[in-house]
Amino acid sequence: MAQPILVVEQLRKNFGGVVVLDGVSLAVERGRIHGVIGPNGAGKTTLFNIINGVYTATSGSITFKGEAITGRRVTDIARRGLGRTFQVARVFNELTLLENMLVPTVPQRMAHRAAVEKARHLLSLAGLSRLEHSPAAEISGGQKKLLEFMRTLMAEPELILLDEPFGGVNPALVDRLTELVLETNAKDGRTFLLISHEMPSVMRLCGDVTVLAAGRTIARGTPAQVREDPAVIEAYLGH
C-alpha cells in the first residue's frame, strides 16, 4: 500500500497538569476524505492545532509526506502543502472577499493577474462571485466558512484540515460545501482530514473515520463500522 500522506503516532499533549491528548495515533491515506469524530472535549481541535503547528506536542510524532513535521512552525507546515480551516472561520472582515482570497498569495509571490484570475474562478465555484467586492463583514458565518475553504485552495494544499466545516451552516450552504469538498477530492486529488459532529455529512463524505474520546483513539474504520462500535456508542452515551 502507498505511504499515508499523514501519520500521527502516540501524540500526547498536556496543558499544565491536564492531559488533553493521551496517545493519539492515526494514518491518513492519500486521496481520501478521513473523518475525525468524538464527543465534545475529546481533543479533536487540539489534534489539528498540533498537526498544523499552532501547538507543540508534549510527545509523539507527526509525519507529513514522509517527513517529520513535529514541532515545525505553522508557516513551514503550510508551505509543505498542508492547509487548514477553523471552527469559527478566520477571515479578514474589513477586506473584500476577493482581497481575502489573495492573502495567501502574498508570500507565494504569485503574479497578481494570475492570482486574481484564480481567486475569481474559486469564488465563482463557491457561488460567491457577486459578493467579491463586499467586505467579508457583510457575509454570513456559513459564507465565511465557504470563503475560508476556498482561500485554502489558493495555495493548492495536498492535505486540507477542516474543523467543523458544517457547524452552524444553513442546509443549502452545507450542500454546496459538501459538493466542493467532494469535487476538490475527486478532481484535484486533494486529501482531507475533517472534524465534524454532523454524522450525515461524515457518512456522505468520509471513507475512513477515526474516533477520539478523552484524548485517545477509541475506534477506526468506515463510518458504518464505527457507528456500530460499542466503544463509540458508550463514549457518546456516557458523555
Ligand X SMILES: Nc1ncnc2c1ncn2[C@@H]1O[C@H](COP(=O)(O)OP(=O)(O)OP(=O)(O)O)[C@@H](O)[C@H]1O
Residues engaged in binding ligand X (CB under 6 A): 15, 18, 20, 38, 40-46
Q: What is the end-to-end Cα distance of the chain in Å, rounded?
A: 37
CA distances from 38 to 1, 132, 137, 166, 217 (A): 28, 36, 32, 15, 9
Instruction: Give 231's contacts (C-beta < 8 A, 6+ positions apart).
Output: 211, 213, 218, 219
Q: Among residues 4 and 38, whose Cβ is nearest to ligand X? A: 38
* CA atoms within a 13 Å half-sphere pointing along the CA-CB vector of 154: 31
CA 59 to chain CA centroid, Å, is: 22
The least distance separating ligand X from the CB of residue 148, rounded to whole angstroms, comes to: 17
The least distance separating ligand X from the CB of residue 112, rounded to whole angstroms, comes to: 38
The least distance separating ligand X from the CB of residue 118, rounded to whole angstroms, comes to: 32
Q: Among residues 91 and 212, whose Cβ is nearest to ligand X? A: 212
The least distance separating ligand X from the CB of residue 196, rounded to whole angstroms, comes to: 10
The least distance separating ligand X from the CB of residue 42, rounded to whole angstroms, comes to: 4
Q: Among residues 43 and 83, whose Cβ is nearest to ligand X? A: 43
Q: Among residues 43 and 165, whose Cβ is nearest to ligand X? A: 43
The secondary structure of residue 42, as a DSSP letter, is S
Q: Among residues 41 and 221, whose Cβ is nearest to ligand X? A: 41
Which helix (H) or strand (E) element contains residue 37?
strand 33-37
